[in-house]
Structure 1
Amino acid sequence: MSRKYEVLVPAVATPDGHGVPHSPLYGDVYHARAGALAQARHVFLGGNGLPGRWRGAPSFTVCETGFGLGNNFLALWLAWRSDPQRCERLHVLSFEAHPFTREALRQWLAAPLEGEARALADQLLQAWPPLLPGLHRLEFEDGAVTLTLAFGSVSRMAKEVDARVDAFFLDGFAPRRNPEMWTRSLFGQMMRLANQDATAATWCSAGQVRRDLAAAGFLVSKLPGFGGKRDMVAATVRSEMRRPPGAQAYSSRPSRQPVLVVGGGLAGAGVAQALALRGHAVTVLDPIFREGLGASHCGHLAAALTPVATRDDDIRSRLSRAGAERALQRWQGLNDAARPLVCGTLTPARCEAEARTGRQALAELAFPSDWVRWMEAAEASRKAGCSLPYGGMWFAQGQRVLPEPLLNALFMFPGVTCHAKHVAGLRRGDGETWEALDSRGEVVARASQVVLANARHAAALLASVPGLAVPAKVAEMASIAGQVSYLRARALPDARAIVAGEGYLLPALDYCVDETGAGRFTDEAALMVAGSTYDKLTGEARVTARGHQEILGKLADLLGHASAAGVGGTTTAIAGYPDADVWRADAVVGGWAGWRAAVRDRLPVIGPMDGASGLWLACGYGSRGLTWSALAGDIIAAALNREPMPLERSLLTRIRPR
């Protein structure tokens, strides 16, 4: 495992002699005896001049160095709700090395509260993420209040976050108990994040803390303390340390200018929804819209969206985890068929050696079981509907998606307008405007911000811009054809989850989850979707008998017995099935074929184009279009709207166009 990987250890609290939550690990209490919300209002809100400083602003960002039980966040949220002159959007970025589990938060945070505070705490509990290292974006008040949680040591995560902060809440355990929360290095990272008028406040008035804040660039002063403490500290960025507005990566004032998106597939849909949610007027151009808003996946009955877990928690694993979380938050609120079915994904081991490796990897990663766990043979077999003697890795949040309904819903989202127009080139117009040109060189659309989400055609559009170098990864992007097969559901009548490995099989399209959470079938004639093939050498994406044969072979290997997969009468046996005839060629009743665009490292290409202000890429998704779609949209939208970024800087660097 990489030496950079940190196992996330949940917090534990016990009551001290006065009933205040106490950390046995650090030997300190989580808040003052006089009350957590009262302390937050006096020290952190009062010390930062809130709510007065956010009034009339389109957005305001707070960074907290220790989330703890979440009392400071609740106090801030309550103040925002009660202020008629509040900022339009409130963003909170909070670090926590040892987050509480949902049940522990319910005990220590929610249970003592009443009224509005209890209602907000319950919303926080409902949205609380699995305890996984990295960044987690939670949204409340229809997205007007966001909470970005950075799980992991503050010394590491402070270097990974990107935001423009207006106010800092310094709230770690006492310096003698947890010195990592009060270092010059951390205060230096705060200065990197600080807007030019940023302030900071803390209950801690230790001389070394004051000196280190001053050395980092803050003007430090003492104020009356809270709950028996004589002093607290308030600070502001010194005038000589302030950056001119043009020197900042993100200014404090977002601009909701119209945005043009080129591409009518999953990439364009994810970007369009994320921008429209933030009030942008989004125009999407693609000639395929002549055939319907979901035409890029017309006939593609179902697909899988599931994260990946690797033994060293590599870049691909971390990105897929972030993408799956974003999709859950973005798409579970959609209606009817557009809403993905959370049915779980099982990745079976093919032998005892693979099972040992899988169990060991999960033990080393120490991921929470509500995200991924090892499922032993009996339970795995019930999920898959066939005998899986070695068990497998179970992702509870694996999702079965119906691509065409999803695309229809995203492109019909309020604020999104779609036109069936072809874009053959780009050029700079007047000022900061981009112009999209058709094949005759005529302008078909204008916008100050343009997102190229048109997969393998992105390189040609970039090449059309005079003087703009096409990033090497984009120039080398490969087009890969692939197909899926449709099988009669009688082939696997008891499958209840996605089963995925080298190939995959989805639950029957008639399988749904009722209001009690129980699964059921509704139609005996339903189909199952299996995949998939990869063909770099073909010039056409089409369904073939050879493709069906390849997919049946993958299923045979995936589900327990690899034998000769035949089309045209030969049987492919699957261990545990009494009737092998279900795998004859007549089980296949159709399929779908399409294109993937992939770059050499198999990571997506998402972010701004260097040297071309206002031009963005969202492409190269390969076979994980569903995984990256919502995540890419929020990355671009967060940058345009000066929000804390929803992904670590090290990951953003790896997927940035280059």
Structure 2
Amino acid sequence: MSSTYLPLQPATLVRNAQGLPCSPRYDDVYHPAPGDGIAQSRRVFLAGNGLPGRWAGRETFTVCETGFGLGLNFLALWQAWRDDPARPRRLHMLSVEAHPFSRDDLATLLRECVPEELRSGAQALLAQWPPLLPGLHRLEFEGGNVTLTLGLGLAESVVPQWDARVDAYFLDGFAPAGNPQMWTPALLRALSELSAPDATLATWCSVGAVRRALDEVGFAVTRREGEAGKRHVTVGVRKPEAGAGARAQAVFAGAHEAIIVGGGPAGAGVAQSLALRGWRVTVVDEAAAAAGMTHAGHLAAACTPLIARDDNLRARLSRAGSRRALARWRDLPDTGAPRVCGTVQLARDAGRAADLAGTLAVLAFPSSWVRAVSREEASALAGVPVRRGGIFFAEGMLVRPQGLVAGLLATPGVRRLAARVAQVTRSGSQWRVRDEAGQVLAEAPVLVLANAAAAPALLGTVPGNVAAWPILAGMHRLAGEVAHLPAAALAGGPRCVVGGEGYLLPEVDGLCVAGSTYVHGAERAERSAEGRDTAIGKALGLVDLPLAGDPGADGWAGWRAVLPGRLPAIGEVPDAAGLWLATGYASRGFCWSALAGDLIGARLMGEPVPLERDLQAALGPR
């Protein structure tokens, strides 16, 4: 995004004279009559697309909807999947909504219009309902076998950013007379570009201009008799000569087996994502004999998003990454699950605090997710006096790296192999990793290099010229250290993450982590008295506390793999099918870990990708 950023405009709960929920903005109702919303979903959209019969015998099936509204189409679709013994193993829905309801308003409306058999689904939807932030939100149900990828924003902005392969369309925007933007030829073309060759569509709209536009973008359409106040409905099927849409996602056709080189946050995040999708994964790492050993001694770290007045690429990526991390990790065992304690991000000075408040006003993000706080409010949130005000992220997380990595690598389907990979070769469709003696350690059709700053050198052993990218040549290692301070020396430590020029984390095992340093050109990542003093000084610059007693000498040192621009490289290597990168995570490894895993997993499985195309391009190997 740029300075043309438009804030999300949530819906308000308004009723018409008949008591039906309606949109004054578009002069239309959300469903036709009390109790009839689900019936219309079944009659118009499921039956109009030949569902559930069309998905019989398929591994996956993807539905694309315009106009999420109250979620009735999703709930009806999900229930049809549940009730069908011939259902596909995985069902995906992709939907867009420019004006989403708050969770409370949506709960009120669903209580009124959802029949008893769909109540459990409605409650599950509400439990995962996201904060009303622009962008893509992935919700998962049935152990990940049913997913909803919800795009919040204007359809003309959201739809071109989707990356998916669609089997059926539910065209359910408000009527063209009130909301013509949902029915423009340009939008219908963008939707059609995601089509599988046999895609179908259904809509209650039978306006001639819409039917002609659908015909022009590759669908043979038919007008049928309607019911329940609709004179006609429209159904369609992809014309044979139209084939797959120009942007329809390809599906990996090989065996679901992968090798991941590197067992830190990057490799573990990809391993978990693939294993949850049923893949057999081998993680090859020198430290694999002790799960999480790549971060042994790394007591705690923070995962906090960024904001920017223009909601730029970095801000959007950090928001997507932190939200995927929370969704993926919240159900891990206690030793690996993040602590959602919130983050107080302090302004550098009073002028910067005013700038932050102005940025929040422009973005119009919900205050339940991020809000401006005074020094007094920030101190109350932190439980210790802080030196300035700033902003508070309610979903800021404290993670325990060693436990987190161990938990991710313990996902069923992940095998760990303690070895050093010295060479990558290829035999047909299989990638092979070899040790220093040339012995094959593992082979699979998919290989992910997630070994931080060692990735460029290993990529250089791949046959061909795949390593010739300037940005990877610019990767470098940056050493850093943190100090572990007794919580008792800091009045028990903060209750939330406190960040600014450095950070101070809540107590873990009686210690608070203070950080951090950045050492360019270091030969070793090691702790030092100078580095410790720097880390402590940064932390004490955030809180208005004396350091009581002996702070000790405990801490941790490690490396960051940094690329020019400080964005990671995540994606498939051009001209090397099956070879992927997940590297260059720099200081935000825990922000990128789950997002990278789901990006790679979704691309391989041909499911809707929970990340916009422009953000994928920003991360792609380059």
TM, length-normalised to structure 1: 0.92
Q: Distance in 1 between matches of 2:504 and 2:386?
A: 14
User: Could you say which residue in structure 1 is the equivalent of 2:338?
Assistant: 340
**What is the CA–CA distance in structure 2 between the aligned matches of 1:599 and 1:357, rounded to whole Å?**
29
Within-5 A mapping of 1:566-581:
575=544, 577=545, 580=546
Residue of structure 1 in register with 2:415 after alignment: 417
Once residues 327 and 573 of structure 2 are traced to their aligned partners in structure 1, the CA distance between those partners, rounded to angstroms, is 28
Provide the rounded CA distance (Å) in 1 between the counterparts of 2:597 and 2:577. 18
Residue 251 of structure 1, CA deviation: 4.0
Q: CA deviation at 1:248?
A: 7.2
Is the counterpart of residue 545 in structure 1 residue 532 in structure 2? no
* 1:13-52 alignment runs, 5 A limit: 13-33=13-33, 35-52=36-53
Paired residue type of 2:414: V
What residue identity is the alignment partner of 1:277? L
Asked whether 1:438 is paired with 2:402, we answer: no
Equivalent residue number for residue 536 of structure 1: 520
Q: What residue in structure 2 maps to residue 632 of structure 1?
A: 596
1:430-509 matches, cutoff 5 A: 431-470=428-467, 471-494=469-492, 495-509=494-508
Task: Write the letter of the residue equivalent to 1:358.
Answer: L
* 8 Å contact from structure 2 (residues 569, 584) kept in 1: yes
Q: Which residue of 2 aligns with 1:259?
A: 258
Secondary structure of the 1:25 match is: coil
Rounded Cα–Cα distance in structure 2 between residues aligned with 1:358 and 1:191: 41
> SS in structure 1 opposite 2:586?
coil
- The answer as to whether partners of 1:43 and 1:226 remain within 8 angstroms in 2 is no
Which has the higher mean CA deviation after the structures are superposed, 252-261 or 123-132?
252-261
Instruction: Give CA-to-partner distance per residue, 1:274-325, whole Å, 9 cap, x none.
Output: 00000000000011123x1111000111111111112221111111111111
Contact 1:203/1:226 (8 A) holds in 2: no
Preserved contact between residue 256 and residue 641 of structure 1 (Cα < 8 Å): no
Equivalent-residue separation in structure 1 for 2:142 and 2:616 (angstroms): 27
Secondary structure at the counterpart of residue 121 of structure 1: helix
Question: Once the 2 structures are TM-superposed, how far is the Cα of residue 383 of structure 1 from its aligned partner?
Answer: 2.5
Query: 2: distance between equivalents of 1:100 and 1:539?
Result: 54
Please give the residue correspondences for 1:215-254 in structure 2 after superposition, counting only pairs within 5 Å.
Answer: 215-243=216-244, 250-251=249-250
Q: Secondary structure at the match of 1:57?
A: coil
SS at match of 1:159: helix
- Post-superposition Cα deviations, 1:117-164, rounded to whole Å, max 9, x if no partner, equal 111101000000010000000000000000000111000111111100
Q: Is the 8 A contact 1:433 1:448 kept in 2?
A: yes
Q: For 1:337-380, what per-residue CA distance to the aligned partner results, in whole angstroms no more than 9, with x for missing partners?
A: 11111100001124221211111110111001121111222221
- SS at 1:508's partner residue? coil
| Shift of residue 253, structure 1, vs aligned partner | 7.8
**Equivalent position of 2:134 in the other structure:** 133
Q: 2:547 and 2:138 mapped to 1: Cα distance?
A: 48
Give the Cα–Cα distance (whole angstroms) in 1 for the partners of residues 297 and 226 of structure 2: 65
Indicate how the Cα distance of structure 1 residues 91 and 254 shifts in structure 2: closer, same or farther if over 3 A, else same.
Answer: farther
Q: SS at 2:294's partner residue?
A: helix
Q: Deviations over 1:9-32 (max 9, x none)?
A: 101232223222111111111122
SS at structure 2 position matched to 1:336: coil
The answer to whether 1:379 aligns with 2:377 is yes
Structure-2 change in CA distance of 1:19 and 1:546 (3 Å): same
In structure 1, distance between residues paired with 2:254 and 2:391: 44
**Partner deviation per Cα, 1:246-282 (whole Å, 9 max, x = no partner):** x876346865511110101110000000000000000
The match for 2:610 is: 646
SS of equivalent residue, structure 2 residue 181: helix
| Structure 1, unaligned runs of 5 or more | 511-525, 560-574
Task: Report what 1:10 is aligned to.
Answer: 10
Give 1:384 shift.
Answer: 2.8
What TM-score, normalized to structure 2?
A: 0.97
Question: Map of 1:194-233 to 2, 5 A cutoff?
Answer: 194-233=195-234
**Shift in Å, 1:581:** 5.0
Q: Is the Cα–Cα contact under 8 Å of residues 478 and 536 in structure 1 kept in the other structure? A: no
Alpha-carbon distance in 1 for matches of 2:317, 2:175:
35
Secondary structure of 2:241's counterpart equals: helix
Which residue identity does 2:232 align to in structure 1? Answer: D
Runs of 4+ in 1 over 6 A off after TM superposition: none
Contact 1:259-1:451 at 8 Å conserved across structures: yes
Please state whether the residue corresponding to 2:193 is helix, strand or coil.
helix
SS of residue paired to 1:60: strand
How far did residue 434 of structure 1 move?
0.8
Q: CA deviation at 1:109?
A: 1.6
Alpha-carbon distance, 1:413 to partner: 1.1
After superposition, give the CA deviation of every residue in 1:424-465 in whole Å (9 maximum; x if it has no partner).
111111x21111111122211110000000011111111111
AA at the equivalent of 2:459: L
CA contact (8 A) 1:92 1:147 kept: yes
Per mean C-alpha deviation after superposition, the further-off stretch among 208-217 and 14-23 is 14-23
Q: CA shift at 1:466, angstroms?
A: 2.0
Residue pair 2:37, 2:113 contacting (<8 A) in 1 also: no
Q: 2: distance between equivalents of 1:535 and 1:628? A: 22
**Residue identity matched to 1:657:** P
Partner residue in 2 for 1:522: none
Is the contact made by 1:373 and 1:395 (CA closer than 8 Å) also made in structure 2? Answer: yes
SS of 2:62's partner is strand
State how far apart, in whole Å, the 2-side matches of 1:407 and 1:555 are. Answer: 26
Q: Distance in 1 between matches of 2:489 and 2:359?
A: 33
Q: State how far apart, in whole Å, the 1-side matches of 2:578 and 2:90 are.
A: 23
Q: Report if the CA contact (8 A) 1:91-1:146 is conserved.
A: yes
Per the TM alignment, residue 67 of structure 1 is displaced from its structure 2 partner at its CA by 0.3
Deviation at 1:207, TM superposition (A): 0.6
Query: What does residue range 302-451 of structure 1 map to in structure 2 within 5 Å?
Result: 302-388=300-386, 390-429=388-427, 431-451=428-448
Q: Deviations over 1:74-128 (max 9, x none)?
A: 1101111111111110000000111111001001123443423111101000000
Asked if the contact 1:496/1:507 (under 8 Å) is kept, the reply is: yes
Give the distance between the partners of 1:151 and 1:296, measured in 2 at CA. 37
Alignment-mate amino acid for residue 433 of structure 2:
A
Return the offset for 1:219.
Answer: 0.6
User: What displacement does 1:419 show?
Assistant: 0.4
Instruction: Out of 178-187 and 33-42, give the one that drifted further.
Output: 33-42
1:296 aligned onto 2:280 = no
Secondary structure of 1:337's match?
Answer: coil
1:527 aligns with 2:511: yes
CA distance in 2, matches of 1:250, 1:180: 25
Q: Percent identity?
A: 51
Question: In 2, are the aligned partners of 1:268 and 1:453 still within 8 Å (CA)?
Answer: yes
AA matched with 1:293: A
- Is 1:183 the counterpart of 2:184? The answer is yes
Mark the runs of 5 or more structure 2 residues left unpaired by the alignment: none
Q: Deviations over 1:28-87 (max 9, x none)?
A: 111222611000001100110000011110000000011011011011011111111111
Q: Which residue of 2 aligns with 1:566?
A: none
The answer to whether the Cα contact below 8 Å between 2:193 and 2:247 also exists between their aligned partners in 1 is no
**Quick one: structure 1 residues 94 and 325, their matched pair in 2 at CA, closer, same or farther if it must change by over 3 Å?**
same
1:614 alignment counterpart: 578
User: One-letter code of the match for 1:544?
Assistant: S
Q: What is the number of residues matched between the two proteins?
A: 619
User: Relative to 1, partners in 2 of residues 1:23 and 1:474: Cα closer, same or farther, differing over 3 Å?
Assistant: same
Which residue matches 2:275? Answer: 276
Contact 1:195–1:252 at 8 Å: present in 2 too?
A: no
In structure 1, distance between residues paired with 2:321 and 2:574: 24
